[in-house]
Structure 1
């Protein structure tokens, strides 16, 4: 009669074998896909793997979203400039004053 411990050991061994087979099959599939991509000139972008998002470079200022009558601007990020604080304290909203650019 087979014991519980023997069955657990068999299971562990089979799991190791299964993982080794999975890795080998995965490597073969990836190699085949890369070959087909090279053969047909397909890129990751064509497959939709890489999105066409452009990222802002670090240190690039954000575009102005708010502007006052004097032409001062604010991106809406970071601390509010003095002119925004004063306008809000006066009971106005950014949209009421026409600061919102877009």
Structure 2
């Protein structure tokens, strides 16, 4: 069985090997990319990606208005509580049409 000192020394040696291998592979990758860039005539500007454009959400004009409070509803999605309550109270949807 290995002692703690031996295991720590092995870990230090492995960490050093990992660091050296990482640096070497990174250098190889950079050289490969530079070769491909020169071969195809690419620049750094060619590699940059554009940020995705924000999707504009267009507002829908309101179709119904509560005359008492000024609240509106476009007619899309769930009916608002004020409209449900009014309809339940006997009003018609067309009473609130703009």
TM-score (norm 2): 0.48
TM-score (norm 1): 0.47
* Structure with the bigger percentage of helix: 2
Larger Rg: 2
